[in-house]
Amino acid sequence: MGNEYILEMRGISKSFSSVKVLHEVDFRIKKGEVHALMGENGAGKSTLIKILTGIYSRDGGTVLFDGKEIRLSDALEAQKVGISTIYQEISLVGQLSVAENIYIGREIKKHGIIDWRAINQKSKELLTSLGMDIDVTKTLNSYGTAIQQMVAIARSILIDARLVIMDEATSSLDDDEVKVLFSIIRKLKAQGIAVLFISHRLSEIFEIADSLTVLKDGHLVGEYRTADLTRKELVAKMVGHDAESIVETERTYREVSGDEYLKVTGIQSGIKLRGIDLTIRRGEIVGLAGLLGAGRTELARIIFGIDRKDKGEIWIDGKPVEFKLPAHAIGRGLAFCSEDRKVEGIIPNLTIAENINIANMKKVSRFGVIRKEDQNAVAEEYIEKIRIKTTGTEQKIKNLSGGNQQKVILARWLSMKPNFIILDEPTRGIDVGAKKEIEDLIKEISGQGISILLISSEFEELIRNCDRVEVLRDGRNAGSLKGEEITENNIMSLIANGKVDEGGGISA
Amino acid sequence: MRKEQIGDISRKYGALIVLVLLIVINAVITPNFLHINTMWNILIQAFSVIVISMGMTMVIATGGIDISVGSTMALASIIFAKLLIDYQMNFVVSLFAALFASCIFGAFNGILIGVFDFQPIVASLILMISGRGIAQQFNNGVVISFYGNKFSDIGTYRIGSVVPIQVVFIVLVVLVAAFLVKKTNFGLYVQAIGDNKVASKLMGLRTALILIGTYVLCAFLAGLASVFETLRMCSADPNNIGLNVELDCIAAVAIGGTSMSGGRAVIWGTLVGALVMQLITTMMNMNNIFYAYALVIKSLIIIIALYLQKEKEA
Amino acid sequence: MNVLKSKVKISGSWIAIFVLILVPSIVYGDKFFSAVNAFNVLRQMSMIGLISIGMTCVILTAGIDLSVGATVALAAVMSAGLTEKSVFLAIFLPVLSGVFIGAVNGFVIAKLKIVPFIATLAVQMAVRGIAYIMTDIQSIPVAKSAAGFAVLGRGYFYGVPIPVIILAVVLLVMSFVCRRTPFGRSLYAIGGNEDAAKMMGIKVTRNKALAYVLTGGLSALAGVILCSRLGAGQPLSGTGWEMDAVAAVAIGGTLLSGGVGGVEKTLSGVLITALIGNIINLQGNVNTYVQQIIMGAIVLVVIIIQRRTQRKEG
């Protein structure tokens, strides 16, 4: 009986300095199935995974892997028993070749010397069997995130993994890449390898997972077969309160007829951007849709003065502008919430108050000397206004959850009273509850006359929030959707074919 | 829990504990240690390292490093003495010229690092190598001495015949540095850049200017320290002044608890670190022990202090 | 694409070397362009060359070793002292002690996880201190009885200076190790992404430590050669060599941030610095200060060129 499951975790408990984060959680995965672990941020998912992979030690409970009890002390040991983890951040070495990344640590030797030819050959075969045809002698860095992740998977096959954990592995992939990843997951499954899949994208869960386990606040909610649940039911279990509001698409587009605030024409830059036009009116929420690499983030970075353009013009309030530094753009009332919060947003060791005020110190200082009371007053204002959950203004931002970090970053920009905010994937990696709050916030901001450019890979997010959606495709405008036209189907057809299906109803 | 608390304390106050231990040990074994003049001497001897490492703390807080401060000292020293003694220029003019030249070195480092994105260690390696050569070139490597001159008493001046002028400046520099770090926008920016440079740039901080400012400040302090040393020794020796001072300063900063990868600047920690280093030397001298033993002990203290402060792994 | 990139970068420094050979050959004729002078240059660079090869391995792991100069000194004085006993011991024991120093570095860095800059700085102090204590800072002459010992530093083999042969052999071996062996590749992996390297089953702690052990051994070997050349072991020798080696590595094109570079590149860096020293010597009327200034300028120029080629390629 015990052999039906590759992994059984029973009664797992864990506390961090007297706060209990896992309460006797049971978790099990059948051999060769794709199992999703679901829960909001703070539900205990990552703690459970870290206990499984040996990064944390457990306070109570047992872990059986293939029927045998294991107690791991580090991730390497986990790998040795057959548990391999694919992280969102690639855990391979970009400077080494693809083949080296697959084989290092278990080199093929001939007469005691590494047989590079055999290594390159076998890597090639392995990747081909996964449907990938790439040059394995090139450095890993020369390929994109998706391929790097596939290489990581190839490596886990090679080291005889029996359980592959994919922790938010899809969050930086575009739809096509996700498709390829899923086909590989199915191949793993066919080989009897179990996959533990963690994602914030519900659609992915329903597409790939056979069964799933839901956690909430460190407690087990239950284990289900995916086929037995609807999306709405799943969200309800995860959130534990009425989830209607977010699942039911609540549409609030408006016809915004104010003055044109920002206008860009014919933006070109290398091969990424090949001539993009865009206009945004005052108080309008414009969505930017497209696949990864369609030029969304690239366009935003050029508008904000981070990267240079080759050609094209940017106008604000009818006047041409040329920003050489973000500082210049900020001076003209622009703000940019970047997609990579950790790398491009937070200053981890500074406090919340400092993180909110740092871009606008003029307001809370005199002659370059910080006025602590002013700094805290501003911070408290925003903590209350946008409901940042924190123990106080002096807490370090790195100790907040992803959603609250995002709110602090938003507060940073809002405190500068901008005219225009670019939000690049503002809800990525954020749990359902916080997501809703941030979306509400976006609408509130636009109500104050602030224009918003919302970049999102989630069509539903665009549908819910945007007055207009501009679809990009291969660095060009593919089409524009307004009001009722903004549907998943229309966006997808524009991305796929550059035009809307018959009867889709598109504005010229 | 208790073990964790002990860990926290040693991480936060490791350097201070070492300092207190050293003082206690010396109070017991070193004759005349508890004399006020011993204290003044320790501070006078640690003067350069303390003053420069205040700037170094900020440089390191930005995630950088400046190994050219020794060469900067050489430059400031020779320019100061050359103008003051050989060219009979006004004291204030000579002082400003020396400080200005130091700032140019700092700006060179800062521009390479802030504007052109050089790795700090490589950028400051350039002036470490050639800066001393430039200083030596000014007077062909010849030492300028001015014993018995009207300026020869300034370096040993004591306020009210009690407090050495160096001590006053140490207090001043440390207070200003602490103020900068804790209370000013500049201090916040410096630490933000060290903590997350990309984010700092994207939120509109003028990272290049801030970095240039930090390196200029560090070089300025090196120049200031150098002028004092020159006055105290009554000679400008471009070949030897400030040799290895960069390493002492960096060690002081590290012992003091500022992370070498940037982030929070711990000014008081650096002060403690510099005092620890000097105390060991003084202890050896006052007990008539060959100073080479001080090197060995310092090395152990550095490693122990850093080990105690190590952030617990998550 | 990437292979191409590295080829372009290498050729950048080799073009510089070509120019550094061509121009003086025209200007000085066979005063410069002769086998005698060529071997002179090569012999002068052999010791820094050995150290730089080790330093390259350390820097590939994103580390640095500031203790190499002190290791040279300790090995040199040990070697000189041991010549009385036997030539074999005079070579073997110092190298062994270098290996031990490297092991200490490796332990403190890889096991205690203390920043390499500070760890090796501390070890540098201790090693220098020990060399002083052993000799009382006096030069130790090589014993008259050990006639054969001088061959190591001054001898020739088929007309080629022995140190040059040693350098060539070490270079060939290390080039192979870095390109083709698991240990060598792991250095790149550790410097590129240490966490990932750990997850790939690479023995990060061991291999990182080994890089320092290797550097310690090679530095000690350089110290023994130095002792043999000078006929004496000097406790003050090797001062500042760590920065010469770091400069050579940087000029060669190995990034100080780790993961990119190689020992062949470092060879070009060492060659460039040696050629410049040689040319300045031939010029005669240029003093050493100017040589320092030029060396710093070369570091600057070479790094600017590297960055431009990198940017074009990237």
Scanning C53-72 for CB atoms below 8 A from B yields 64, 66
Crossing angle, helix C204-230 and helix C35-60, to 10 degrees?
150
The band of A389, judged by pLDDT with boundaries at 50, 70 and 90, is confident
Scanning B158-187 for CB atoms below 8 A from A yields 183-186
Q: Over 80: is that where the pLDDT of C12 sits?
A: no
Q: Which pLDDT belongs to residue C256? A: 87
Dihedral sign from CA coordinates of A490, A495, A501, A507: positive
Q: Which pLDDT belongs to residue C4? A: 43
- Report strand pairing: A68-69 vs A311-316: unpaired
Q: Which pLDDT belongs to residue A279? A: 92
Q: Which pLDDT belongs to residue A507? A: 46
φ and ψ of C181, to 5 deg? -105, 155
Beta-carbon separation of C198 and A105 below 8 A: no
| Arithmetic mean of pLDDT, C163-171 | 96
Searching chain A, which residue's CA lies closest to the CA of residue C193?
Answer: A93
- Dist CA C291 CA C163 (whole Å): 24
Q: How many CB pairs under 8 A join A and C?
A: 66
Q: Which of A231, A247, A263 is the last residue of a domain?
A: A247
Beta-carbon separation of B65 and C117 below 8 A: yes
Task: Using an 8 Å CB-CB cutoff, list chain A residues near C199.
Answer: 75-76, 79, 91
Q: Over 80: is that where the pLDDT of A87 sits?
A: no
The band of C227, judged by pLDDT with boundaries at 50, 70 and 90, is very high
Provide the β-strand partners of residue A278. Answer: A264
Q: Over 70: is that where the pLDDT of B4 sits?
A: no
Asked if residues C214 and C243 have their Cβ atoms less than 8 Å apart, the reply is no
Least confident of A104-118, A490-504, C87-101, C266-280: A490-504
Q: Measured between alpha carbons, how far is residue A456 from residues A167, B275, C88 in Å?
A: 20, 55, 71
What is the rounded average pLDDT for all residues in chain B? 91
A58 and A173 in one domain? yes
Q: Over 60: is that where the pLDDT of A494 sits?
A: yes
Dihedral sign from CA coordinates of C143, C144, C149, C153: positive
Q: Over 70: is that where the pLDDT of C5 sits?
A: no
Beta-carbon separation of C256 and B122 below 8 A: yes
Q: Which pLDDT belongs to residue B8? A: 73
Least confident of A33-37, A46-50, C49-53: A46-50
Residues, chain A: 508
A311 and A390 in one domain? no
A123 and A272 in one domain? no
b/e map of C7-38 (b: 16 or more CB within 10 Å)?
A: eebbebbbebbeebbeebeeebeeebeeeebe
Residue A339 is assigned to a structural domain of this protein: no
A495 and A445 in one domain? yes
User: Which has the higher per-residue pLDDT, A406 or C166?
Assistant: C166
Q: Which pLDDT belongs to residue C310? A: 62
Searching chain B, which residue's CA lies closest to the CA of residue A306?
Answer: B202
In angstroms, the first-to-last Cα distance of chain B is: 16
φ and ψ of A504, to 5 deg? -70, -25
* Domains held by chain A: number: 3
The band of C2, judged by pLDDT with boundaries at 50, 70 and 90, is very low
- Dist CA C251 CA C13 (whole Å): 8
User: Which has the higher per-residue pLDDT, B174 or A46?
Assistant: B174
Question: Which two tokens mark B34?
Answer: 């508890």
A401 and A429 in one domain? no
Task: Using an 8 Å CB-CB cutoff, list chain A residues near C202.
Answer: 104-105
Dihedral sign from CA coordinates of B39, B42, B47, B53: negative
Looking at the complex, does the CB of residue A399 fall below 8 Å from at least one CB of chain B? Answer: no
Q: Over 90: is that where the pLDDT of C57 sits?
A: yes
The band of B3, judged by pLDDT with boundaries at 50, 70 and 90, is low
User: Which has the higher per-residue pLDDT, A161 or C14?
Assistant: A161
Looking at the complex, does the CB of residue A444 fall below 8 Å from at least one CB of chain C? Answer: no
Residue A283 is assigned to a structural domain of this protein: yes
Beta-carbon separation of A93 and C200 below 8 A: yes
Question: Which two tokens mark C50?
Answer: 């050995």
Beta-carbon separation of C125 and B296 below 8 A: yes
Q: Which pLDDT belongs to residue A292? A: 63
A70: which DSSP letter? -
Q: Which pLDDT belongs to residue A427? A: 83
Beta-carbon separation of A95 and C202 below 8 A: no
Share of chain A above pLDDT 90, in %: 33
**Partner residue facing B188 (CB), from A330, A331, A370:** A370
| Arithmetic mean of pLDDT, A76-105 | 82
The band of B49, judged by pLDDT with boundaries at 50, 70 and 90, is very high
Residue A128 is assigned to a structural domain of this protein: yes
Show the domain range for A259. 251-333+418-501
User: Which has the higher per-residue pLDDT, A467 or C96?
Assistant: C96
The band of C7, judged by pLDDT with boundaries at 50, 70 and 90, is very low
Q: Which pLDDT belongs to residue C291? A: 81
Q: Which pLDDT belongs to residue C164? A: 95
| Arithmetic mean of pLDDT, A83-100 | 81
φ and ψ of A312, to 5 deg? 105, 170
The band of A42, judged by pLDDT with boundaries at 50, 70 and 90, is low
Residue A341 is assigned to a structural domain of this protein: no
Task: Using an 8 Å CB-CB cutoff, list chain A residues near B202.
Answer: 304, 306, 326, 336, 338, 344-345
Q: Which of A370, A400, A417 is the last residue of a domain?
A: A417
Q: pLDDT tens digits for B281-298?
A: 999 989 999 989 999 999
Question: Which two tokens mark B307?
Answer: 């080990």
Q: pLDDT tens digits for A152-209?
A: 888 888 888 899 998 877 766 777 788 888 988 998 899 899 999 988 777 788 899 9
The band of A47, judged by pLDDT with boundaries at 50, 70 and 90, is confident
A242 and A300 in one domain? no
A182: which DSSP letter? H
Residue A507 is assigned to a structural domain of this protein: no
A39 and A64 in one domain? yes
Beta-carbon separation of C115 and B306 below 8 A: yes
A161 and A105 in one domain? yes
| Arithmetic mean of pLDDT, C179-190 | 90
Scanning B200-259 for CB atoms below 8 A from A yields 200-206
Q: Which of A417, A440, A473 is the last residue of a domain?
A: A417
Q: Over 50: is that where the pLDDT of C162 sits?
A: yes
Looking at the complex, does the CB of residue A303 fall below 8 Å from at least one CB of chain B? Answer: no
Domains and CATH numbers, chain B: 36-309 (1.10.3470)
Residue A188 is assigned to a structural domain of this protein: yes
Residue A226 is assigned to a structural domain of this protein: yes
CATH number of the domain that residue A19 is part of: 3.40.50.300
Q: Which pLDDT belongs to residue A250? A: 57
Beta-carbon separation of C64 and B295 below 8 A: no
Q: Over 70: is that where the pLDDT of B55 sits?
A: yes
The band of A17, judged by pLDDT with boundaries at 50, 70 and 90, is low
Contacts of A153 (CB under 8 A, 6+ apart): A86, A130, A164, A184, A188
Q: Over 90: is that where the pLDDT of C206 sits?
A: yes
A226 and A88 in one domain? yes
| Arithmetic mean of pLDDT, A410-415 | 91
